[in-house]
Amino acid sequence: MVNFLLRSVGLGLATAALLLLAMPSLRQQVLPDYAAPQPDSIQQLQVSFKEAVREAAPAVVNIYSRKYTESSRTQLSTQGLGSGVIVDSKGYIITNYHVVALADQIIVALQDGRVAAAQVVGVDRRTDIAVLRVEGENLPVIPQNEEYKAQVGDIVLAIGNPYNLGQTTTLGIISATGRSSISADGRQSFIQTDAAINEGNSGGALVNTRGELVGINTASFQQATELETYGISFAIPYILAKRIMEKIIADGRVIRGYIGVDGQDINSVTARLLGDNHRGGIVVLGIDPNGPAAEAGFETQDIILTIDGQKVSGKQSVMDQVTDLRPGTRINIVVLRDGKELELQVTVGEDSRDFIPQ
């Protein structure tokens, strides 16, 4: 009986082997091919950002600034090279102020081969932003998402025209946000990235993996400090660039509110002593004697808590909120003085201080 069973099993196995040899298509169904990579295997993982580039790149233009020669007011020579970003179907382009600062004529070259002379709508030297405009139909517009918030570690792509080689895309991550140490006035916050930004990239786009505009590339650390560095570059945040553009389009220049105080964030120890309700306040360290704050009765060591009922969250938020206000606006600011809250009414002035970043 045992021998009969063994012979039957052996015959069955032999028959199965012959069928698998004769019909290879049965192997995948009967025997899993563990040697072959599975669809979700790391061996088949392909990372590509071509869709992001396809969305964003057409809206990134080459900018050539031209200047009259010293010997003739009729001859123009190319003096500067940069990039720009089309952000509106009406032809508005954001670039850096330093790209077009000395130009007598500005030429914009689109990636589809079109070339046009650009008109300067306005500039803001403080933020190094210039707004240009070109005429044209069916202009490509870069994707924008005001809800996106730059986070350290986000993958970003820098798109521009380095050294006039032609449009180039480099890859990196956001290394830091809120960098103000290289700002000429110590106030403007930059996005730091390790995506390569070289001469000609200035004014180009920093985008995320969806092709959405993250910032306007403006400088490398080497350009700002003349130090030999690698992997340290900066971009102006998109939200700031957009806000500056809207001001320039509306008024031809950037009108900034001003109250005339200087301060710093309260430290963590003071914040704990004051309690959670006062966390985020700033200590007033200096007051312009001729400014609106002095007229309203501010004193040094006052701690600013709220502006028009909105709780402040640090020095940068106060600067942003005040500069966005129109001169002549009356606001109520709550300060903490000698342990008691005090409401002061301030009439916002205009920040007319001269500012040249170079």
CATH number of the structural domain spanning residue 307: 2.30.42.10
The answer to whether position 37 is within a domain reads: no
92-101, 163-172, 282-291, 313-322: which range is least confident on average? 313-322
Answer whether residue 269 shows pLDDT above 70: no
88 or 8, higher pLDDT = 88
The answer to whether position 300 is within a domain reads: yes
Answer whether residue 357 shows pLDDT above 50: no
The answer to whether position 174 is within a domain reads: yes
Using the 3D structure, point to which of 235, 251, 267 is the last residue of a domain. Answer: 251
Using the 3D structure, point to which of 221, 251, 281 is the last residue of a domain. Answer: 251
29 or 298, higher pLDDT = 298
**Element holding 50 (H helix, E strand):** helix 50-56
| Domains: count for the chain | 2
**How many angstroms separate the CA atoms of 60 and 215, rounded?**
12
The answer to whether position 12 is within a domain reads: no
Shared-domain flag, residues 121 and 204: yes
Shared-domain flag, residues 84 and 223: yes
pTM recorded for the entire structure: 0.76
Shared-domain flag, residues 177 and 265: no
Residues labelled catalytic: 98, 128, 202
The answer to whether position 241 is within a domain reads: yes
Among 116, 98, 81, 132, CA closest to 245: 132
Calculated CA dihedral for residues 267, 270, 272, 276, nearest 10 degrees: -80
φ and ψ at residue 50, rounded to 5 degrees: -65, -30
Distance of CA 116 to the CA centre of its chain: 26
- Split at pLDDT 50, 70, 90, the class of 14 is low
The answer to whether position 14 is within a domain reads: no
Shared-domain flag, residues 224 and 336: no
Q: Count how many residues are written for the chain.
A: 358
Rama region for 138: left / alpha / beta (φ>0; ψ in -120 to 50; rest):
left
Residue 86 sits in a domain whose CATH number is 2.40.10.120
> What is the structure's pLDDT at 358?
39
Shared-domain flag, residues 71 and 220: yes
107-111, 139-143, 221-225, 282-286: which range is least confident on average? 221-225
Answer whether residue 179 shows pLDDT above 50: yes
Answer whether residue 332 shows pLDDT above 80: yes
Using the 3D structure, point to which of 251, 278, 297 is the last residue of a domain. Answer: 251
Shared-domain flag, residues 216 and 334: no
Shared-domain flag, residues 85 and 154: yes
The answer to whether position 357 is within a domain reads: no
Rama region for 211: left / alpha / beta (φ>0; ψ in -120 to 50; rest):
left
Answer whether residue 110 shows pLDDT above 90: yes
167-176, 257-266, 293-302: which range is least confident on average? 257-266
For 299, the domain range is 257-350
